[in-house]
Amino acid sequence: MPHVRVPITTDRLVLRSFRPGDEADVFAYRSVPEVVRFIPGDPRTTDEVADLVAERASAGRLDVDRPALTLAVELGGRVVGDVLIHLAGPNGVDLRQVEIGWVFAPDVAGNGYATEAARALVRVSFEELGVHRVWARVEPRNEPSVRLCERLGMRREGVLKQASWFKGEWTDLAFYALLADEYRPAQQP
């Protein structure tokens, strides 16, 4: 079964399992409407964040029964975001494909942290999990995430017009992906 060794360290960040004590940091960004605009769910309450942190504490194992892993992104002792690695293809759980996602505190935007964390997920997906394809689905109006996908070297594979009933409206879904034979470790510090 695939296993993600945590923590994952980059030049500036630590991607690790959630743990007790992360609740205030996570609430600081997961409770902001603009931050959760393009991700499932509403702004979180303190109780919901406490449940989220408790639920997502994990040793890093991914399998058919637990195909998704959400990691806290720590910067200098503070959780500034979280990232998702999900064993999934377009038709459900797939051990050969990984969907990635991210959400970050607005006060750290523009410093490259989301790109750095997402690059680490791409590296782990190809080099440790040995997957064939890494992909992301993005609402095209989420321009920072579109640009992040492009910085990762992902290609835009297509857009499904008004394919998702999301937060009270029909929204488009853009799909970005990178294949194992396209992956260049030098592009993914």
What CATH number did the domain enclosing 23 receive? 3.40.630.30
Residue 44 lies in a domain: yes
At 186, the pLDDT band (50, 70, 90 cuts) reads low
Query: What is the rounded CA–CA span in Å between residue 60 and residue 7?
Result: 9
159: in domain: no
Report if residue 147 sits inside a domain.
no
pLDDT over 70 at 147, yes or no: yes
**Domain for residue 65, yes or no?**
yes
Residue 173 belongs to a domain: no
In a domain, 178, yes or no: no
Instruction: Indicate whether 163 belongs to any domain.
Output: no
Neighbours of 157 (CB within 10 A): 10
Mean pLDDT of 91-100: 86
54-81 pLDDT, tens digit per residue, is 988 865 677 777 888 999 999 999 999 9
pLDDT at 188 over 50: no
For residue 114, the Cα-to-chain-centroid distance in whole angstroms is 9
| 10-40 pLDDT tens trace | 999 999 999 999 999 999 999 999 999 999 9
**Which residue range forms the structural domain that includes residue 89?**
8-135
The tally of domains found in the chain comes to 1
Q: Is the pLDDT of residue 6 over 70?
A: yes
pLDDT band at 189 (very low <50, low <70, confident <90, very high): very low
